[in-house]
Amino acid sequence: MSRPTILLLGANGQVGHALQTALAALGTVTACTRAELDLGVANAQPQLVLDLVQKIRPDIIVNAAAYTAVDQAESDPEHARTLNAVLPGVLAQAASEVGACIVHYSTDYVFDGTKKGSYWEQDQTNPLSVYGQTKLQGEQAVAKACLRHLILRTSWVVSAHGGNFLKTMLRIGQERDSLRVVADQIGAPTSAKLIAQTTRQLLEVMLAQPASDPRWGIYHLAAGGQTSWFYYAQYVLSQAREKGWAIKVAPESIEAITTADYPVAAKRPHNSKLDTSKIRETFGVVLPEWTEGVDEVLAQLTLERR
C-alpha cells in the first residue's frame, strides 16, 4: 500500500505542531494553519477548505484547528462557533465526499464537571461555556457528516510549543514572590506529543477500515493520574528549580484558592478527569502518568534556554 496523503489543519497549535512530526512517519502531510486558510475571522468562509480537500483528495484529514481562548469565547461566540463547530462539519462532509477518514479533537469542557468519578465517553454532556458548547457542536457535526471518524477528547494540553499553563507558571514564577492557584479543579495534564503519537497509532489501525467498523467513534485521550492546577503549579516550579531555573516563589508557599476566589468569564468544570479505558482496551494504547509528559516538556524548555 502506498503512503497515505494526510491533510492537517491547525498546524501551528500545540497539538498541530506535534502532529506534523508524528504523522510524517505515517504518510505525506500537507500542513495548514488557520491564517493560511483565512480562518482568523468570524465571517470566515469554508470554501477555501473545501477547495483544498478537493485539490489534495487526502486519505486522512486531521483537524487540530480550534478556537481555544476559553474566556474570550464568551464575548466572541460567533468566531468560536465558526472554528469549533462549522469548520469541523465542513471538513467531515468533505472527507466523506472524497472517501477520507477524519480525526477531530475535542475537550473535557463538554462536561459540567459535577460527576464524582472519571467521565466515560457515553456520559451525559453539559458544557458550561461557549467554548464547551461549540466544541460539542463540532463533535456532533463530525459524527453526523462522516462515518469514518475518530473524535478524541483530551484535557489540559501541555507542550514546549505554544502557550499553556506550565509555561505561564514558569514565567510568573520567575517574576513574582507569591502566587495563588486554583485547587478545586481536577484533571490530567496531557502532552501534545502523547496526543500526536496516539493519533498516529490509531490511524495505523483504522486507515483501511470501512465505515461499518465499530471502532470508529469518540474516545477519551488523556495522560494517567490526576492533579489540580495548584499541585500542578507546585510540581512545575519545584522541578524547574531543580533544573536551575531562577524561580522566585517557593513552591511550598503557593496559596491554594477556590474557583470562586478567581473569577473569570467562562465557567470551568471542577472535575475534568477522563476515563481512558476504551482507547486503551480497543487499541492497546499506553498512557503514562501526567508527570512524564510534563517532565519531558520541562526538559525541552530547559535545553532551549541554554
**What letter does residue 125 receive in the DSSP assignment?**
P
Alpha helices in 159-228 (DSSP H): 165-175, 192-206
Cβ atoms of 269 and 167 closer than 8 Å: no
Secondary structure of residue 102 in the 3-state scheme: strand
Catalytic member of 67, 119, 131, 219: 131
Distance set, CA 74 to CA 79, 155, 245 (Å): 10, 20, 36
Q: How far is residue 169 CA from its own chain's centroid?
A: 19
Please choose, from the candidates 269, 272, 271, 273, the residue with its C-alpha nearest in 3D space to the C-alpha of residue 129.
Answer: 269
**What letter does residue 124 receive in the DSSP assignment?**
P
Secondary structure of residue 223 in the 3-state scheme: coil
**Angle, CA 139 vertex, CA 78 and CA 211 arms, to 5°:** 140
Please choose, from the candidates 97, 103, 99, the residue with its C-alpha nearest in 3D space to the C-alpha of residue 10.
Answer: 103
* Residue 232 known to be catalytic: no
> What does the alpha-carbon distance between residue 295 and residue 18 come to, in Å, rounded to a whole number?
16
Joined together, the cell numbers standing for residue 119 give 467521565
Hey, what amino acid is at 96? S
**Angle, CA 192 vertex, CA 150 and CA 287 arms, to 5°:** 70
| Catalytic site positions | 131
